[in-house]
């Protein structure tokens, strides 16, 4: 079942690009923008991640943490973050645990979904945005939700 607006976000614990365990609960008390993306270093995912990077200051100024999640390995995330100077956390969901908990499916039954969740400081999902083919729009949607609250 897909997590929707108004529902509590499921907690998870996954390794970040440095191999450290990060849980959603550890981000408590502040806004979190959690974006699921298909794969490191592909054109759409790079555009999306670099757009989050370019807007990172707007998110931090709004009191939000940005977290990207894909099924890539810790090593892949480390290389991706270094290559594009990504200042936020990337989490390795190698077995799909978090993706499954949030109900993020596949596009055309093949490509892991691209979905962004905006989670308030109490852990409630305040907005979602799904678009496989408009990766940069995820940033605008997330900022609009955070600033409109």
pLDDT tens digits along 49-101: 999 999 999 999 999 999 999 999 999 999 999 999 999 999 999 999 999 99
| Cα–Cα–Cα angle for 14, 5, 90, rounded to 5 degrees | 25
pLDDT digits (tens, 9 = 90+) for 3-20: 888 899 999 999 999 999
Q: Is the pLDDT score of 149 beyond 60?
A: no
**Would you give the DSSP letter of residue 51?**
H
**Would you give the DSSP letter of residue 27?**
G
**Cβ contact 7:15 at 8 Å:** no
Class of the domain covering 13-147: alpha beta
**Cβ contact 59:66 at 8 Å:** yes
Q: Report, as residue numbers or ranges, the catalytic residues.
A: 45
The residue-averaged pLDDT of 112-133 equals 87
pTM of the shown model:
0.92
Looking at residue 147, its pLDDT comes to 83
Q: Domain spans of the chain?
A: 13-147
Looking at residue 132, its pLDDT comes to 59
């Amino acid at each position: 079942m897909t997590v929707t607006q108004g529902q509590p976000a499921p907690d998870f614990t996954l390794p970040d690009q440095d191999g450290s365990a990060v849980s959603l609960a550890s981000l408590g008390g502040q806004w979190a923008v959690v974006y699921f993306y298909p794969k490191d270093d592909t054109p759409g995912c790079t555009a999306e991640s670099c757009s989050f990077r370019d807007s990172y200051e707007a998110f931090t100024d709004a009191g939000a943490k940005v977290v990207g999640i894909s099924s890539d390995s810790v090593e892949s995330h480390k290389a991706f973050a270094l290559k594009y100077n990504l200042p936020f956390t990337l989490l390795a969901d190698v077995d799909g645990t978090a993706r499954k908990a949030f109900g993020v499916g596949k596009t055309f039954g093949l490509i892991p979904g691209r979905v962004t969740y905006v989670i308030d400081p109490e852990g409630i999902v305040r907005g979602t945005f799904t678009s496989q083919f408009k990766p940069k729009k995820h940033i605008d949607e997330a900022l609009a939700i955070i600033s409109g609250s």
